[in-house]
Amino acid sequence: MPIESFSPKWTQGVAGLIVPIQRVEFGIDITYHDQPDLQDITGFYQTGLGGFWLAIEADKVVGTIALKDIGEGMAAVRKLFVASTHRGSDKGLAKALLQTLISHAQMFGLTTLYLGTTADFKAAHRFYEKHDFNVMDPAKLPQSFPRMAVDTRFYERLLPQV
């Protein structure tokens, strides 16, 4: 499945994928309007060395992943969401999205990726750990890391330089 960089024409499709997953599947009391990063994806993520990527199928957003440049060779991984119909290791979409992000990060010389998630997202923990992210003490997060109030578990991945 092709993965492409975000363009504003996909704004509603991104919201239509992410917000229902957050609210219905994960039970997080959050709306589109509570997420200024989703309202200005270009200005929030596609600056510096950051990016925002989409998986599109039949003119519909079925997957997303974002990279927020936080300076000094570091970045935050955010907004990895995949439609329920496209999940699973047999489909490989989450892995393809993550690999797109990692390839971009390495190409631009980023050295460290950080991410936050909630303690309840066990499948996400397994996914990140399988892809070389290590649980870390939140006290060691860089000051520039954009912490979300719901995040209680944090990961770090060092990137080999190519």
State yes or no: pLDDT of 1 exceeds 90.
Answer: no
- Whichever domain contains 88, its CATH number is 3.40.630.30
Q: Where are the beta strands (DSSP E) in 7-152?
A: 51-57, 60-71, 74-82, 112-117, 134-136
* pLDDT score at 36: 95
Determine the pLDDT at residue 119: 86
Assess if residue 127 is contained within a domain. Answer: no
pLDDT for 4-58, tens place per residue? 999 999 999 999 999 999 999 988 889 999 999 999 999 999 999 999 999 999 9
Q: What confidence score (pLDDT) does residue 46 get? A: 98
Domain membership flag for residue 98: yes
In total, how many domains does the chain have?
A: 1
Length of the chain: 162
Question: What is the domain extent for residue 60?
Answer: 3-113
Domain-located, residue 19: yes
Separation CA 10–CA 20 (nearest Å):
16
In a domain, residue 58? The reply is yes
Q: Is residue 30 part of a domain?
A: yes
Q: Residue 40 domain-assigned?
A: yes
Closest CA to 4 of 96, 91, 76: 96
In a domain, 109, yes or no: yes
Answer whether residue 126 is part of any domain. Answer: no
Q: Are the C-beta atoms of residues 80 and 64 closer than 8 Å to each other?
A: yes
**Is the pLDDT reported for residue 162 higher than 80?**
no
